[in-house]
A and B are shown apart, each in its own frame.
Chain A
Amino acid sequence: MPQVTLTVNGQTHTAEVEGRTLLVELLREKLRLTGTHVGCDTSQCGACVVHINGESVKSCTTLAVMANGAQVTTIEGLAAADGTLHAMQEAFREYHALQCGFCTPGMVMSAIDLVNKHPDGITEQQIREGLEGNLCRCTGYHNIVRAIAAAADVMHGKRTEIASAAQ
């Protein structure tokens, strides 16, 4: 069986996989990182989004062997060691950007890549278009969009902490 070595959230792992093993299966079933979800399994819903070398990808449509040698970041890799949440996670909490939470890991991972790709600032329209590959069936997206805008201000250094949702 093929062997893959990859770095996940800063830790190097080597695992034996089948050729057909998906990256999401390696993450969830072998590495027990179950924060990454499988929703549609047809690369439409985005619940399985992780970062490969800093770019958002759908891990249900990526073979584990194709991530050999890559740097992978999952939702578990965002918070600091002391539990301090990433600005995007904090913003999702502050803005009530989730209800059932199933899509949330993928939303957060896509949102971070989206904000990183717009270093000069991001508009509401760009946020909405950038979320095209992530489906949420609870929230109606409005609070997700507000949360990403608030997190962008912190990630871009315009604010030191997430603006209160009450304002």
Chain B
Amino acid sequence: MYDFAYHKPGSVADAVKLLADPDAKAISGGHTLLPALKHRLNKPSALVDLSGIAELRGIKRVGNAIVIGALTRHVEVATSAEVAAAIPALAYMASHIGDVQVRNRGTIGGSVSNNDPAADYPAAVLGLGATVHTSSRKIAADDFFQGMFTTALEPGEILTAIEFPIVDKAGYAKMKNPASRYVMAGVFVSKAGGAVRVAVNGAGPCVFRQAAMEAALAANWSPDAVANIRQSPDNLNADIHGSAEYRAHLVGVMARRAVAAAG
């Protein structure tokens, strides 16, 4: 790891000032960034540790939504009675990220800002149609994820919270790599009235919505409805862990399991 300066601001405003340096990077749990720095994939001039900013913590219900602060760790979402009561699929998803130690450190804001193709949270954000709150604006999930490790966040803009609407039904299923526990293919489904969302993670370079499955589930909410919908392998990820065709097949399997889990 290359060395860097280290800052620990106490407020979002101070953090935004420090992150005005284009070579500075924000860190919270560090469970994605530190492995990347160890590989010297990145050479930040400074790390801005957000963990001292109290206003970025916590889970609260606001109207018909659950709002989760960016610094909230996976273990906190996984064990939150409020999340379990309102959006059980979200608590389930958080309880299956990485392993115990990753969940003890990793944060929702870090996972979503980083937008790793194999991360879990982007599927929940897109699959629930959440709203991303930042230091300067609110961004709809459909506009937030823009490509591999790329989001709508501008340089110096900090993700502060995520607002998840409480839906009628939601479910998540994934196939994970047995060694790294990263997602090979995952599907998050939700239903709110007649609106159905199906978000696929792990399989492509960026989380995406599966329109054919959404239409089928809107007409008939059951695992059988997506049984005959084939995901195209075009533009899906292919690596030593699995081919694009394998991942495309997994998308169908995970979609059926996710709908079954949603009930």
Residues of A participating in the B interface, judged by any CB pair closer than 8 Å: 2, 18-20, 22, 41-44, 46, 49, 55-58, 61-63, 65-66, 110, 113-114, 130, 132-133
Q: Are A133 and B3 in contact (CB under 8 A)?
A: no
- Please pick, from B6, B99, B104, B180, the residue contacting A2 in the complex, using a CB distance under 8 A: B6
The answer to the question of B105 belonging to the interface, with a C-beta cut-off of 8 Å to chain A, is yes
Contact B6 A55 (CB under 8 A): no
B: which residues have CB within 8 A of A? 1-6, 8, 27, 30-31, 34-35, 37-38, 47, 49, 51, 75, 98-102, 104-105, 179-181
Within the assembled complex, what's the spacing in Å between the Cα atoms of A57 and B29?
11
Contact of B101 with A19 in the complex, beta carbons under 8 Å: no
- CB-defined contacts of B101 to chain A, threshold 8 Å: 43, 46, 49, 56-58, 110, 133
CB-defined contacts of A41 to chain B, threshold 8 Å: 38
18 other A-B residue contacts (CB within 8 Å) besides A19-B47, A61-B30, A110-B101: A2-B6, A19-B4, A20-B1, A22-B34, A42-B38, A43-B34, A55-B104, A56-B104, A57-B101, A58-B105, A61-B34, A62-B34, A65-B8, A66-B30, A66-B49, A113-B100, A132-B181, A133-B98
Residues B99 and A19 in contact, CB atoms below 8 Å apart = no
Contact B30 A20 (CB under 8 A): no
Query: What's the least CB distance linking A47 to chain B, in Å?
Result: 11
B37 proximity list for chain A (CB < 8 A): 20
Q: Among B3, B30, B99, which residue has its beta carbon within 8 angstroms of that of A18?
A: B3
A117's nearest neighbour on chain B, judged by CB, is B100
Pick the contact of A20: B4, B104, B105 (CB < 8 A). B4
Q: Given A20-B1, A44-B179, A61-B105 in contact, is the A132-B38 Cβ separation under 8 Å? A: no
Residue pairs across A and B with CB atoms within 8 Å: the count is 70
Closest-by-CB residue of A relative to B75 is: A55
> Which A residues are in CB contact (< 8 Å) with B27?
63, 66
- Whole-angstrom distance between the Cβ of A137 and the nearest chain B Cβ: 13
A-B contact pairs, 5 of them (CB 8 A): A19-B4, A56-B104, A61-B30, A63-B6, A63-B27
User: Contacts A41-B38, A43-B35, A61-B30 hold; do A110 and B3 have CB atoms under 8 A apart?
Assistant: no
Chain A residues contacting B35 (CB-CB under 8 Å) are: 42-43, 61
- When distances are taken between beta carbons in the complex, the residues of chain B under 8 Å from A49 are 101
Complex formed: what's the CA distance from A44 to B4 in Å?
A: 24
CB distance from A109 to the nearest CB of B (A): 10
Cross-chain contact A62 with B105 (CB below 8 angstroms): yes
Q: Which residue of A lies closest to B79 (CB)?
A: A117
CA distance A3 to B37 in the complex (A): 21
* Given contact pairs A56-B104, A133-B102, A61 touches B180 in the complex (Cβ within 8 A): no
Give every chain A residue within 8 A of B99 (Cβ-Cβ). Answer: 46, 132-133
A63 to chain B, nearest CB (A): 7
**Contacts A19-B3, A20-B4, A133-B101 known; A65 to B38 CB distance under 8 Å?**
no
Q: How far is the CA of A113 from the CA of B75 in the complex (A)?
A: 13
Q: Which residue of B lies closest to A106 (CB)?
A: B101
Nearest-Cβ distance from residue B223 to partner chain A, whole angstroms: 25
A19 and B104 form a contact (CB under 8 A): no
Chain A residue with Cβ nearest B180: A44
A19 x B30 contact (CB < 8 A): no
Taking a contact as CB atoms under 8 Å apart, the answer to whether A110 and B105 are in contact is no
Chain A residues with Cβ below 8 Å from B47 are: 19, 63
Residues of A within 8 A of B30 (CB): 61-63, 66
- Give min CB distance, A65 to chain B, whole Å: 5
Q: Which of B37, B38, B49, B101 has the most CB of A within 10 A?
A: B101
A61 to B4, CA, bound (A): 16
Q: Could you say which residues of chain B place their CB within 8 Å of the CB of A63?
A: 6, 27, 30, 34, 47
Question: Once the chains bind, are A43 and B102 in contact (CB under 8 Å)?
Answer: yes
Residues of A within 8 A of B6 (CB): 2, 19, 63, 65
CA distance A18 to B105 in the complex (A): 21
List residues of chain B with CB within 8 A of the CB of A132: 99-100, 181
